[in-house]
Amino acid sequence: MMEYAVECKNLTHYYGTRLVFENMNFNVRRGSIFGLLGKNGTGKTTTINILNGFLSPTGGQCLVFGEDSRNLSPATKARMGFLIEGHIQYSFMNIRQIEKFYSCFFPKWNKEPYYELMAKLEVTENQKLSTMSCGQRSQVALGLILAQDPDLMVLDDYSMGLDAGYRRLFLDYLTEYAHGEGKTIFITSHIIQDLEAFMDDCVIIDYRSVLVTMSLKQFRAEFKRYSFDVTNPALKLVKDGVVKNFELIRTHASIYSFNPLPEVEHYLNAHGVEFSGLHEVPMSLEDAFIGITGKY
């Protein structure tokens, strides 16, 4: 049995002459929850489109269960559940019709989780998807994926347009599904803090490059923010092996780094920075994400 559900090897993509990312490498372990994180326009949906075979990469390749994503077989597609950004589904169908439609295509179809989820919504079986709220449509899309019982779920920005309640409901069902049945989930979202207790591994991408590929536990343990005061309000520190990001507001500075505090202290001294009060500041996942990608 293959160790990875998804393998991206030297993935490179251009839109015309605009580079989206270059030589992106990551693997998604079977049975893990993998988050693809990045700011708007960094290539999250592009990656998902490549993974699903809806885009041919300019270079490199993406393997899904060992198959090149450019030529996914029907058998492999049956093992992949796909949530399109914006929870797109057949809006001309109603709740019953859409379940009936999909049920014939998937050998492991189980309508129970779908109708269980629908029972939580204030909708009737004959209600068309086009008349539902964004939150309700998200649950229909999720219910259909759960009924499909895929081995790999690819969820493109599941949180788009959802309030806190629907986001929680979505993740609660996913957690139950993933951990209860050993499924693999590949997820992207703008709401980073929701994924904090959910993800196992992550890749953080920025414009044209990959910033981090590691387990969430390792990232949370190793990536640090150090604050200190400086005497020079015009101080500039260039990103390098130690400094992953540097922020300065008046005389209050922060360094984001994978290095421990003594090494950062040594770095500042070595660069002739006059500083005081150097200390580590605890971060949430969102703080860490902003720390490594920058605020703008």
Partner 1 sequence: MYKSVVYKEWLKIRWAYAAMILISVLALGNTILNLKSVVRFHSPVAVWSAVILQSYLFYDIFRFVPLLVALVIAASQFVPEVHSSRLKLSLHLPVRENTIVMQMLSVGLIGVALIYAFIGLALSIITAVNFPTEVLTSMLLTIAPWFLAGVVGYLALATAIVEPRWIRRVILVIVGYGFVDTLLVLGTFKMYERVLPQLTMLGSFFTLGILLSAYRFRRGVR
Which positions touch partner 1 (CB under 8 A)?
15, 49, 52-56, 70, 74-75, 77-78, 80, 82, 84, 86, 88-93, 97, 100-106
Minimal distance in Å, beta carbon 79 to partner 1? 9
Looking at the Cβ atoms of 159 and 293, the one nearer to partner 1 is 159
Looking at the Cβ atoms of 92 and 207, the one nearer to partner 1 is 92
Looking at the Cβ atoms of 13 and 225, the one nearer to partner 1 is 13
Minimal distance in Å, beta carbon 97 to partner 1? 6
Minimal distance in Å, beta carbon 134 to partner 1? 13
Q: Is the four-CA dihedral 139, 144, 149, 150 of positive or negative sign?
A: negative
Looking at the Cβ atoms of 53 and 291, the one nearer to partner 1 is 53
Looking at the Cβ atoms of 54 and 207, the one nearer to partner 1 is 54
Q: Could you give the angle at the alpha carbon of 174 between the alpha carbons of 173 and 176, nearest 5°?
A: 65
Minimal distance in Å, beta carbon 6 to partner 1? 16
Looking at the Cβ atoms of 105 and 207, the one nearer to partner 1 is 105
Minimal distance in Å, beta carbon 114 to partner 1? 16
Minimal distance in Å, beta carbon 224 to partner 1? 39
